[in-house]
């Protein structure tokens, strides 16, 4: 499948410099860029069919973790915001389980798509992960499954909605909750979010939507799937430097194997 059969290039002219500039400005202003119908219906359906066919290969797990995605800090009490635990539960298939001829792989590898991402994200270059598992993932969230509140360690995330749930499963976030580079963790503000005392912004994406999100300082979660239909999301992961692998510990945690 060629790129023009995968991406709606009429609505999203990826090579156009003025379009790239508008996308960059929108992402910088809001911290999130949603592009509905980015992937064509035909390509979205082919990826959905692949995901359904390969679902039996997915590694399902449920994990307790801190909002900061790091081990609890003994300098704080167990009930302190720094150490409060949330739950994330999902299934995942990894890059080596995505078919070679998948539209996802063609999109991920397309030079024009990477160039668009670089300019929009303000990156000089983008590279695959060096390990065989982490570049392209498909996440499955069945009834009751969710991603708990957290901050990302990376500066950006790129996702494609493949199959939205019937109900629930919305992406929720609060911008500028902390300043990681300055070491300002804002424990009081994070506690307000965890206690449901802060109004959150919500995104509900239809199939085929591309989302670019800056989650390093924006706390976010995926609310529990309330319907019978499995939520299916593709994650396209890149690095700004070549030769980077997800750590073996992280691979065991997320994928149940290291290779």
Average of per-residue pLDDT across 200-209? 95
In this structure, is the dihedral angle defined by the CA atoms of residues 161, 85, 83 and 60, taken in order, positive or negative? Answer: negative
pLDDT band at 91 (very low <50, low <70, confident <90, very high): very high
- Residue burial 90-116, b: 16+ Cβ < 10 Å; e: rest: bbbbbbebbeeebbbbbbbebeebbeb
Angle at 34 between CA 30 and CA 36, to 5 degrees: 155
What beta strand segments (E) does 128-250 contain?
136-141, 147-150, 157-163, 171-174, 201-203, 210-213, 219-222, 231-236
Distance CA 109, CA 139 (A): 20
Give the model's pLDDT for residue 164: 98
Give the model's pLDDT for residue 250: 86
Q: What is the pTM of this model?
A: 0.95
Give the model's pLDDT for residue 204: 83
Is the pLDDT assigned to residue 112 strictly greater than 90?
Answer: yes
Q: Tell me the domains of the chain and their CATH numbers.
A: 3-255 (2.60.120.620)
């Amino acid at each position: 499948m060629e790129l023009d059969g995968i991406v709606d290039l009429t609505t999203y002219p990826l090579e156009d410099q003025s379009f790239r500039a508008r996308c960059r400005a929108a992402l910088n202003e809001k911290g999130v860029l949603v592009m509905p119908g980015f992937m064509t219906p035909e390509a979205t359906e082919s990826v959905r069919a692949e995901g359904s066919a390969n679902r039996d290969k997915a590694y399902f797990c449920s994990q307790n973790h801190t909002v900061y995605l790091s081990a609890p800090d003994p300098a704080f009490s167990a009930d302190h915001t720094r150490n409060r635990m949330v739950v994330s539960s999902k299934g995942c298939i990894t890059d080596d389980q995505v078919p070679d001829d998948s539209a996802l792989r063609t999109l991920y590898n397309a030079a024009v798509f990477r160039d668009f991402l670089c300019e929009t994200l303000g990156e000089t270059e983008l590279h695959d992960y060096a390990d065989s598992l982490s570049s392209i993932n498909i996440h499955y969230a069945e009834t009751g499954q969710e991603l708990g509140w957290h901050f990302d360690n990376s500066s950006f995330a790129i996702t494609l909605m493949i199959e939205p749930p019937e109900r629930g499963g919305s992406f929720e976030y609060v911008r500028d909750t902390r300043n990681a580079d300055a070491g300002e963790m804002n424990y009081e503000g994070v506690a307000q979010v965890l206690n449901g005392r802060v109004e959150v912004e919500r995104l509900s994406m239809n199939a085929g939507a591309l989302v670019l999100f800056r989650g390093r300082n924006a706390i976010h979660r995926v609310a529990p799937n309330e319907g019978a239909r499995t939520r299916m999301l593709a994650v396209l992961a890149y690095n700004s430097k070549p030769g980077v692998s997800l750590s073996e510990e992280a691979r065991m945690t997320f994928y149940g194997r290291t290779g």
